[in-house]
Structure 1
Amino acid sequence: MSEQTLDYFISKRQIQERDAANIVWYHAANSKSKIAEALTSSAHMIEADILQRGHEPKEPIMAHPPETDSDITLREWLKEVVISDKGIKLDFKSLQAVAPSMALLEEVRGQLSGPVWINADILPGPGGKATPLEARAFLEAVGPLHPGDVLSLGWTTGWSPDADNRVSGYSWEMVREMEEVCGALKQPVTFPVRAALLPQSFPQLQWLLQQSERYSLTVWIGQSDRLVMEDLLVYRQKMDKSRVYYDLLESQSNTFRNLPGYS
């Protein structure tokens, strides 16, 4: 089940094999100009953030905190997306926005062709200071999903160039708590994990993937993060390539692909 997104892009002849590292991402398409750029880009998946507008009319908009407004609503954003064959990842930043957003998504279901990922941080993670969305309330607000939809369920995280980040990674307690949340779900689930926090986390995340064939990882990099790209190789070398996505900037992806041991 973790390969359904890959199967779609193979069917479109946009990738050649079930290697999740081949999927290209466009980040923070949270404005009219950004979604226009994303739709003409080489990206397979378009990611955007959703929150409830902070003033009337209160409706789902494309924005990332601390922003409280945007020049494009989710309804307008979806109208742009349905004319493409790209996948979308909707990243929820407020619980209030989830139910009305899912209703808007359902209105355009018949026109969407690409994969749909639904993302939120639902548990506290290493260094996380933000408040996660409450897991049960989030899943209830999302409601029934289409069989191919992917739940992207993560942990709040933090990273500082002044801290010894390599000491703290995703702990056994964190991955076991996530498995308690996801074990009874029917959907494919991907776990977004912060690359800078991975060096100490391989045994824990390997165990998590072993709990279900529905599970995958999505490795992402924060804007200010520093990391040794070689630290990512163990995930590529020792895990099924169809089950580890790499949500990297183009320059980072090129560096990663050229490392000895990548192939």
Structure 2
Amino acid sequence: MSQGERAGRLDGKVAIVTGAGTGIGRATAVAFAREGAKVVISTSRNMDALLETQALAGGESNVIAIKADSSIAVDAKSLVDTAVSNFGKLDILCNNAGIVTDALIIDMSEEEWDRVIDVNLKGTFLTTKYALPEMMRAGGGSIVNIGSINSFIGEPLHAHYCASKGGVLMFTKTIALEHAKDKIRANCVCPGWIDTPMNWEYIATLGGPEEVDRIVSASQPLGMGQPEQVAAAVLFLASDESSLVTGTDLLVDGGFTAQ
């Protein structure tokens, strides 16, 4: 296949990707569009970055960019309504929007806890809640939630993040069980160290790139991952190639949790 030729693994599909301004969300939106999907992408923060994603994914005719905070019910519903009103249905939902801050439990404010839980877990619930009826009307669909290695392991300074990502994994399994009869699959992609803007902020707190290189080399045998590597896993689970896969977690962690 020549460079730029569309493979068509998602031909005729309509997808939503939250948190698509940068990183894994951007790479996923680009991958979906490249494979033939019509895509609605969102961010609650940097619209300039989201419009860059839109351009990279093929422009306005195939990709609609909207500002929406999926942790707010009306915004979550607007994502689904936008997909259906513009493209006629909804087949795929990738719940990628997420945040993290650094704080010991003893120092963590209630507001800090609530915001991370709201964005990472409540937002995943709300978009899923509004997406499910449309997927049922479409005769099935695929939900891919972005978890983390912290869906399985704890980490100092990130109690709220670990709790949210553990919740995302269990929520995913429950969706799969409740909606198998509707031909709606739900799976969770769980990345390790990935070179994304969210991690860049954390890298600074750890002592900079050289210290992070040392940490990653010691903890992730295949080294630092790239967003496109995670997007490839999301694409597999979104596509019909994974038609018998539901309720599972797919670790994209370079061997981190194998040790």
State the TM bucket, normalised to the shorter chain.
0.3 to 0.5
TM-score (normalised: structure 2) = 0.39
Structure having the higher strand fraction is 1
TM-score (normalised: structure 1) = 0.38
